[in-house]
Structure 1
């Protein structure tokens, strides 16, 4: 697999797990992970990039194994002191995690782009892959619900996804564009495949595809694009994917994910518990156990996904 280059699109925990599997499955080959920043927000004066940090901590072996997000062996002195002072504690920042946000915020204020900061953090954490935010400019996910319109973290964390979703919008800065490293990866002649990780299509991958020009660039890369289903037996492993699909009035099934991505895909990895849906998908399909309970599972799913992509011819 040497000299190969794989590009992965990822959101939070599920996407980071497969990205970690890809990193270990590829050995000396190159991996670029483009991460959703639609969840980013400012909290306590700090720039928080939840999905970027989940990717960083997961690939560095620092992620909390119980939650999948945040750092393992975290301490909470800061949050405890903040609570005693009457500060906002609905979004919890551990002491080690806080250092990441402080340093990111400091460098952003000094004029460094988010992608350069992320690359430096990845290097300092010993990560061999390139972790790239989808854009250096702001693109924010807003959720319209039966209780009002919420910024993503308000909906996801403060309100625990309880309000009924009516629609999702993406608020863009006028100059929003793919981060330069994304375009460099897509133009690489060694690029072999693009993998859409099993992240929430509506909240994690859709913001990526909403970056002006990015969807067209993905299709123009002329390499197979394969998505791994985020549903297992008609349910999400983690997060509100199934809930949101039902509330948006679409069937909660893996073939609906294929329809949602449309002509972007050349192939689809389907969980074995949903194998009966195979005949309803008008694309090449690979059926396997997509649950990634262990590091070995991550590598297995990654290897099968890469082998499947290698057999495909782009339809574009």
Structure 2
């Protein structure tokens, strides 16, 4: 069966699934809609962490040890910055700086984030389509026991240690979906819409907060399948399980499916997850993604689940 595969994504886990889809299916049939609520301005430069993680991953330039940034990176800039008393809490590698400088120049010249991102994909011959969720600024804000925090302060600066009581997305109400986003979800030739195993609250919810995107998921005729971010009843990395506990949720795939209630038709869960009753169709697979074979396996399982619903 042919058709476009659309993936709502953010973070490292999401980038792995998108990469797997590009390895399992023709890359030009893959569209990634990427969280931009993590974006912020640092040292005067606009940084788009989730977009950059994805394009580095798709182009083979990602740092496999760190899980973020570029492979073979050097850190001369950071060393010089710290020697001058500058802020060193957010790491910018020398090669990574090129992305942020060029993005700053493009945005200052009036180009939208979507156009800059498309240019990067063209320069690096990335076959997949990478769409920012919005060209409008949306920012993740967290109410915590340390006060209200911007996402990067919480996640990087404080290593996700504060206890979270609420999450909101500043600017979302006035944002518009990025060019091509709604069309990709609702197109007649869309084979499947996947929600990546990204953090539901910090990576997927921001995408859903943009007016029109949630409605498009409800309207699309394509099956919508979420890949659970939990493996064996816990998160592989990141604060997903911690956030679920802090927000009063049970840490299991059933709760994740419930969080997406009304949006998804099915969920792919890990083979090691305990048996449970789900309100949607469920399939199981080994969802850990360390190697190319792992990524392909999960991508194929998610799309096969979607195909089975037709």
The TM-score with structure 1 as length reference comes to: 0.96
- The partner residue of 1:298 within 291, 295, 301 is 295
Say whether residues 1:76 and 2:71 are aligned partners. Answer: no
> Structure 1: which 4+ aligned runs deviate by more than 4 Å?
none
SS in 2 for 1:305: helix
Partner Cα distance (1:191, 1:213) in 2 = 17
Partner Cα distance (1:240, 1:248) in 2 = 12
SS in 2 for 1:168: strand
SS in 2 for 1:308: helix
Say whether residues 1:113 and 2:112 are aligned partners. Answer: yes
Distance 1:109 1:263, change over 3 A: same
Q: Displacement of 1:284 after TM fit?
A: 1.0
Say whether residues 1:310 and 2:293 are aligned partners. Answer: no
Partner Cα distance (1:75, 1:133) in 2 = 28
Say whether residues 1:8 and 2:7 are aligned partners. Answer: yes
Tell me the matched-pair count: 310
CA contact (8 A) 1:275 1:287 kept: no
Give the structure 2 partner of residue 58 of structure 1: 57
How do 1:1-316 and structure 2 match up within 5 A? 1-2=1-2, 4-27=3-26, 30-172=29-171, 175-277=174-276, 280-313=277-310
Q: Displacement of 1:28 after TM fit?
A: 5.7
Q: Deviations over 1:262-298 (max 9, x none)?
A: 1101000010111412xx1121111110000111100
Q: Displacement of 1:157 after TM fit?
A: 0.3
Q: Deviations over 1:26-56 (max 9, x none)?
A: 1265111000001000000000000000000
The TM-score with structure 2 as length reference comes to: 0.98
User: What is the root-mean-square deviation of aligned Cα atoms in Å?
Assistant: 1.1
Partner Cα distance (1:28, 1:92) in 2 = 31
Partner Cα distance (2:171, 2:268) in 1 = 31
Q: Displacement of 1:185 after TM fit?
A: 1.4
Q: Displacement of 1:136 after TM fit?
A: 0.2
Distance 1:284 1:240, change over 3 A: same
CA contact (8 A) 2:173 2:210 kept: no
Distance 1:292 1:173, change over 3 A: closer
Q: Displacement of 1:182 after TM fit?
A: 0.6
Unaligned runs of 5+ in 2: none
SS in 2 for 1:262: coil
CA contact (8 A) 2:172 2:209 kept: no
Q: Displacement of 1:189 after TM fit?
A: 2.0
Partner Cα distance (1:275, 1:235) in 2 = 11
SS in 2 for 1:273: coil
Q: Deviations over 1:129-161 (max 9, x none)?
A: 001110000111001101101000000000001
Unaligned runs of 5+ in 1: none
